[in-house]
Structures are given as C-alpha cells and as structure tokens.
Amino acid sequence: MARILKPQGFLAVHTPSAGDPYSLSSFLAIFPGLRLVGNREIDGLDSSATRELVLQKQEANSILALRKKQWEKTGSPGGSSKNKCPIPDHKLKLLQSAEPLIEEEPLKPWITFKRNVQNIKYLPSMADISFKSRYVYVDVGARSYGSSIVSWFKKQYPKQNKTFDVYAIEADRTFHAEYALKKGVTLLPYAAWVRNETLSFEINEDPDQKDVVKGRGMGRIQPAGAAEGLLDTGDVDKIQGFDFAEWLKSTASKTDFVVMKMDVEGTEFDLIPRLFDTGAICLIDELFLECHYNRWQRCCPGKRSPKYQNTYGQCLKLFSLLRESGVLVHQWW
C-alpha cells in the first residue's frame, strides 16, 4: 500500500484496535514513510467502536530528515544506538505500569519469587498486540517440553488468540528426544552463548534446584578451557554453544512480538551484555528472567548456595538496567 501511494497521498484505515499507545505504535511501524495526521473514534457499521486512522505519505526528503534526526538523537543510522534501545512514550508507560522489582533480598526466595508471579503484569494484559508481523516465544534453558512451555506459556501467558512460533533452546540431551514428537515447537539443541564454540556443560545436583520428574540436576556452562572452574558435584559434558544474540537478530525483526523466558544458570551475566552490545536486546518485547545468585539454601538454614558467586544486589542491578533501557523484564523463579 505504501509503495503505490503517491507522495503527499492519504491512506485511511478503520480498525477496532490501535486504541492504546502500544498498538498504535505497532500499527504505524507497518507503514514506514507514512505519518499519522488523523486519529479519531467513530461509529462502525454495526455501531461498534471503530478507530479511524489517517496517514499521509511523506516526501523522500522528509523521510531522510526524520532518519537524520533519529540518528542525531540515538547515535546510529538505524535509529538506535549499539547498546541502548530508544524508549518511546508508549513503552515508557508500560514500564511505569509494571510490577515493582523486589528490592530487598528474600530470606526464602523459593517462596517469595513464586508468589511474585501472581503480581506480574503481562504486556498483553496492558496493551493490544494485534499489529505485529509475527509472534515469537523463545524459551532459553527450556528443559523438558512440559517444564515451562506447556505449564506456563501455553496455559497461562495471555496470547490474545495469537499463534506463536515457539523456540526451545536446551543443551541437555536428556530432553531432546521428546521434542521430536511435539508439533509447533522448534528445538535448538545447543547452549545459548556469546559466540559459536565448544563448551563444558556441568550437570549439578544442587539440592535446591533439581528436576524432580527427571531426577536430573540443572546444567550450567563455561568455555571448554575453563572446566576446572566448575564445581566437582556432577557430570561434565562437551556441548556446542552458539551466538544467541546473532541468532535472535536473524530470527526476529522489530515488527515481531517477541516474548522470552531465560533460565540459564548464571549465564545471564554473559548473555545480557552481549544482547546489548549487538542491539538484539531491542527485539525483545517482554523478558522473564531468572537471575542466579548465592541465595539462601532451602535445605541448609543459614547457608548460601556455593554454586554461584553473584549476589542478589548484582541481580537487582541487572533487572534495573534492563528496565532503564526500555526492556519490560520480570523477576522469574
């Protein structure tokens, strides 16, 4: 439509959606080169509420001037800097409406974070996501198919009747076979990492973090040459890691709606900076992140987990950085 419209020509669209700032922004992203000149609510054919949007095609010089203005504001020709996403008003309002972060370290995190799930304000419960090119769910550290893809995303996440392309990223080969029998999900049998290389994958029998169904501990990764840094508490396998940020950039676009759950046993402190460095962080609409730290152990009162060196304060800084950078992130468990 935008291609056949002459410069200064008008396009009028009647839609029951685009009533909130988020969906309006998504709608306008479908028509690059057109600017909004009219926006009002009218009576539809069946007397239902309908929104009339009027757009006008800009001259080529006007488009270049707008892009130059974005470049000067953000520091890159594409309209966003290398490690920072632009935060338009509609996104800022969503961030302000999100549930507050838990500032004080929980003494019983296994209870606090589980309860906090009830407080989460999902993006689709705050805005209309109709005007997106595609809908994508990425489960990083998916474990079994029923672990979070079925038990949480398929059953609980408000999808507004949209069909999502589901990607499961799981390095533990114990879970690979079951994905071959599942439709509508693509398995990436590798470890999400900052580059393509062989990694050491440790299966750790942490008493506070065990998959009861499988009877198998959680896995964490390090470069193959750093295997001596892993705790001697489980099996260590060699697996293939891949550049997760580059994969995300090649898989999703700015007009897609991308939801991500990340539970990677401490590797989030490597992956998140890489997402910022590559600009891939700007593709994520909503992130559910479990941050791993030396938390108090359920099994052993008064003792912290020796598995992780990061503190709760460092996790809180990570969550705060994400929100300050325009990412709607939630504390997951």
What pLDDT, on the 0 to 100 scale, is given for residue 234?
Answer: 55
Shared domain check, 45 and 189 = no
How much is the pLDDT for 194?
97
Query: What does the pLDDT read at residue 85?
Result: 78
Instruction: Name beta bridge partners: 287.
Output: 260, 329
What is the residue type of 174?
T
Examine the domain organization and report whether 48 and 102 are in the same domain: no
**Residue-wise pLDDT tens for the chain (333 aa)?**
667 788 889 999 999 888 898 999 999 988 888 999 999 998 877 767 889 999 999 876 554 455 445 444 444 444 444 556 788 888 899 999 999 999 999 988 888 888 888 999 999 999 999 999 999 999 999 999 999 999 999 999 999 999 999 999 999 999 999 999 899 999 999 999 999 999 988 766 555 554 444 445 555 677 766 555 544 555 678 899 999 999 999 999 999 999 999 999 999 999 999 999 999 999 999 999 999 998 888 788 788 888 888 999 999 999 999 999 999 999 998
Q: According to the 3-state scheme, what is the secondary structure of the chain?
A: CCCCCCCCCEEEEEECCCCCHHHHHHHHHCCCCEEEEEEEEEECCCCCEEEEEEEEECCHHHHHHHHHHHHHHHCCCCCCECCECCCCHHHHHHHHHCCCCCCCCCCCHHHHHHHHHHHCCCHHHHCCCCCCCCEEEEEECCCCCHHHHHHHHHHHCCCCCCCCEEEEECCCHHHHHHHCCCCCEEEECCEEECCCEEEEEEEECCCCCEECCCCEEEEEEEEHHHHHHCCCCEEEEEEEEEEHHHHHHHHCCCCCEEEEEECCCCCHHHHHHHHHHHCHHHHCCEEEECCCCCCECCCCCCCECCCCCCCHHHHHHHHHHHHHCCCEEEECC
- Which pLDDT score, from 0 to 100, does residue 197 have? 95
23 and 160 both lie in a single domain? no
Enclosing domain of residue 299 = 89-331
Same domain, 217 and 174: yes
Phi, psi of 179 (to 5 degrees): -70, -25
Q: Which residues of 8-17 are buried (b: 16+ CB within 10 A; e: fewer)?
A: eeeeeeebeb
Q: Indicate whether 117 belongs to any domain.
A: yes
pLDDT, residue 285, reads 96
Report how many domains make up the chain: 2
Q: Extract the tokens encoding 309.
A: 């060196």
pLDDT of residue 225: 62
- Same domain, yes or no: 32 and 172: no
Write down the pTM of the prediction.
0.84
Q: 309 with 275, same domain?
A: yes
Answer yes or no: do 56 and 100 share one domain.
no
Same domain? For 160 and 295 the reply is yes
Q: How far is 115 from 176, CA to CA, in rounded Å? A: 31
**Is 82 inside any structural domain?**
no
Question: What is the model's pLDDT at position 33?
Answer: 86
CA 108 to chain centre: 26
Enumerate residues 6+ apart whose C-beta is below 8 A from 301.
none
Picking from 28, 45, 74, the residue at the C-terminal end of a domain is: 74
Residues sharing a CB contact under 8 Å with residue 94, sequence separation 6 or more, in sequence order: 22, 123, 126, 127, 328
- Note whether 186 and 141 are same-domain residues: yes
Please check whether residue 135 lies inside any domain of the structure: yes
Instruction: Point out the domain boundary residue: 19, 50, 74.
Output: 74
User: Do 15 and 139 reside in the same domain of the chain?
Assistant: no
Mark whether 140 and 67 lie in a shared domain: no
Q: How many angstroms separate the CA atoms of 136 and 265, rounded?
A: 23
Instruction: Based on the fold, state whether residues 52 and 101 are members of the same structural domain.
Output: no
Q: What is the pLDDT of residue 71?
A: 42
